[in-house]
Amino acid sequence: MGLGTGLDRPPRLAVDALLDDPGTRIIVCCGAGGVGKTTTAAALGVRAAERGRKVVVLTIDPARRLAQSMGIDSLDNTPRKVTGVDGDGGGELHAMMLDMKRTFDEIVEAHADRERARAILENPFYQSLSAGFAGTQEYMAMEKLGQLRARDDWDLIVVDTPPSRSALDFLDAPKRLGSFLDGKFIRVLMAPAKVGGRAGLKFLNVGMSMMTGTLSKLMGASLLGDVQTFVAAMDTMFGGFRTRADATYRLLQAPGTAFLVVAAPEADALREAAYFVERLAADRMPLAGLVLNRVHGSGADQLSAERALAAAENLEEGGIVDQESGKAGPGDSDAGTPPPVDGITTDEITADQITAGLLRLHAERMQVIAREQRTRDRFTSLHPEVAVAEVAALPGDVHDLAGLRAIGVRLATG
């Protein structure tokens, strides 16, 4: 395929068919930051609900755009019904924003007795881990997704994943947290609880004293004590983390799940999209297609950028000749001349100059369209099998349900 030709169109992503299929239970929107994942997830949720599905949208983006666009004062860790969504056949829309610390707390409370749960929740190391350990947000998103699916209160869950620059952290999180929990560092800290008797004491006196002495210098004795206390309290829960993460991972690979890679028609964003597509294939995750957001178009695309620029130059050159030849324009009399604006009076702005300016704007738009087309064609040449839904750019930001409906129409119809 030649770049920029647009002759070999990729298959069209049938968004409505995907939303209407009762077998579709989970849609995961993934992609780089700033490409419109949150808006896409919300628009899919609104459209699916108004087509009769009972939908919950789980956003993991810390921004509050989703709540604002849905007319909700704030989102939290509890699904909240969105009013103003007119669902056919009992369709409903709920929305929530992941609170990773609260989700972690809920896991502890559900899988530990009251005394142990209190010891864990009050542990300083746990508080740091649950609030900001690398991968905690993504892991807790997996936990929350598993919880939502297990409740079976909704027949469609739409997940807005965190922005990811160079890896699908949402998929990597269970492995990463599992490696942390199964790692040598944790096993060493768990050794005192697992080794008893004199042999254990001897082991502790020789090996552990050296290890803890080194760790105390690196971490501080207080922090090391907090970590050891945390590990001892969490020991019985570690296996549960891995088991639930593996179950959710398998759920993401199941036929009822569909991944949508969201991108903008820009080189960097589509390079990231290509990586996502390849990674999903490697992990055997079901890819539904690519959503290409903020695509520019023109109602006068038969007028090329080159012709528009040439016409603008002709008009501007003609205007200069007219001025030099002394031809009078409209308003040549001094009477009634408006005050100058930015040094130019309105009498000096001729119809030809206005037309030339509009032609130049059109040329710039056509150049943008051509660049986006070439970029999209590069992606398509690498992944011709990936279905694409192109969403035309809106003139302003989406901030209400009407805007989300407009995005939904563009997703479905192009």
> Which residue shows structure tokens 């909704």?
154
Nearest of 275, 243, 306, 49 to residue 169 by alpha carbon? 275
Total-model pTM: 0.77
User: Which of 49-58, 134-143, 219-228, 372-381 ranks highest by mean pLDDT?
Assistant: 49-58
Higher pLDDT, 164 or 221: 164
Q: How confident is the model at residue 120 (pLDDT cuts 50, 70, 90)?
A: confident
Of residues 31 and 14, which shows the higher confidence score? Answer: 14
Least confident of 170-179, 224-233, 324-333, 351-360: 324-333
Give the pLDDT confidence of 65-110 residue by residue, as tens digits.
667 777 777 778 889 999 888 776 789 999 998 888 888 888 888 8
The sign one gets for the Cα dihedral 240, 246, 251, 257 is: positive
Share of the chain above pLDDT 70, in %: 71
Average of per-residue pLDDT across 252-271 = 92
Pairing label, strands 388-392, 156-160: unpaired
Query: What gap in Å lies between CA 238 and CA 195, rounded to an integer?
Result: 18
Selected residue with higher pLDDT from 75 and 46: 46
Question: Does residue 272 surpass a pLDDT of 80?
Answer: yes
Q: Please say if the pLDDT value at position 2 is more than 70.
A: no
Q: Is the pLDDT of residue 184 over 60?
A: no
What's the confidence (pLDDT) of residue 55?
96
What integer pLDDT is reported at residue 165 of this predicted model? Answer: 53
Q: Which residue has the higher pLDDT, 173 or 49?
A: 49
Confidence grade of residue 331 (pLDDT, cut at 50, 70, 90): very low
Are 386 and 275 in contact by the 8 Å Cβ rule? The answer is no
Q: Kindly state the average pLDDT of the residues 152-181.
A: 72
Other beta carbons within 10 angstroms of residue 214's beta carbon come to 11
Question: Residue 296 — pLDDT band, cuts 50, 70, 90?
Answer: confident
Q: What pLDDT does residue 239 have?
A: 67
Is the C-alpha dihedral spanning 198, 199, 200, 202 positive or negative?
positive
Q: Which three-class secondary structure state does DSSP give residue 17?
A: helix
Distance CA 158, CA 95 (A): 9
pLDDT at 264 over 70: yes
Percentage of the residues of the chain whose pLDDT score is greater than 90: 27
- Give pLDDT, residue 261: 94
Q: Which residue has the higher pLDDT, 257 or 304?
A: 257
Phi and psi angles of residue 337, each rounded to the nearest 5 degrees, phi first: -70, 125
Averaged pLDDT of the chain:
77
CA-derived radius of gyration, the chain = 29
CB burial of residue 350 (10 Å; 0-12, 13-18, 19+): middle
SS (H, E, C) 67-106: HHHCCCCCCCCCCEECCCCCCHHHCEEEEEECCHHHHHHH
**Cα–Cα dist 270/322, whole Å:** 48
Q: How many residues comprise the chain?
A: 414
